[in-house]
Amino acid sequence: MKEDICVEASLVRIHIAARCMLAFVFIYHGLVPKILWLSAMEVELASAHGLNASVISPLAGALEILLGLALVLWRRSLLPVYAAIALLAALLVDVMIVRPDLLIEAFNPVTLNLATMFIGYVVIVTQAPAGAKISGTRSG
């Protein structure tokens, strides 16, 4: 019984840490390279789609920040987590089509997006114990 509580508490901590890290990735990537300092890569990717980066990148950044906030604020819902994973997968496929040369760079969408998608998976598989802890009940 005591071991079950320790395992459950560990899963809750893992869940919270993974959810916060997933939110951090979206908030950081929305704010820093898209709003505060428009990165050259953002400009290149927007241009590859025929879009104006000075307009589309801050808009995309704001949406990423909102998704990051939703990940933290809607702790009982997996909807923002699934949205984050779907967005990461779609963006990875987009880069594969539009700028496949980026896939061989040192810090690339393959490693970043797959690792971040895995963090989302961790949030999903640890949701039940965390949800029980949040509502004040124990599963079991």
Q: 63 — phi, psi (to 5°)?
A: -65, -40
pLDDT of residue 130: 64
For residue 59, is it within any domain? yes
pTM value surpassing 0.75: yes
pLDDT of residue 129: 67
pLDDT of residue 137: 45
Neighbouring C-alpha atoms within 13 Å toward the C-beta of 10: 6
User: How far is residue 55 CA from its own chain's centroid?
Assistant: 22
Residue 139 pLDDT level (bands cut at 50, 70, 90): very low
Range of the domain at 115: 2-135
Are the beta carbons of 120 and 80 closer than 8 angstroms? no
Residue 91: closest CA among 32, 25, 37: 25
Query: 4 is written with which tokens?
Result: 């079950």
Q: Which residues contact 59 (CB under 8 A, 6 or more apart)?
A: none
For residue 140, is it within any domain? no
pLDDT of residue 35: 98
Query: 129 is written with which tokens?
Result: 């114990």
Are the beta carbons of 7 and 137 closer than 8 angstroms? no
Are the beta carbons of 95 and 46 closer than 8 angstroms? no
For residue 16, is it within any domain? yes
For residue 73, is it within any domain? yes
When divided into structural domains, the chain yields a total of 1
For residue 76, is it within any domain? yes
10-63: pLDDT as tens digits: 999 999 999 999 999 999 999 999 999 999 999 999 999 999 999 999 999 999
Are the beta carbons of 120 and 84 closer than 8 angstroms? yes
Neighbouring C-alpha atoms within 13 Å toward the C-beta of 107: 1
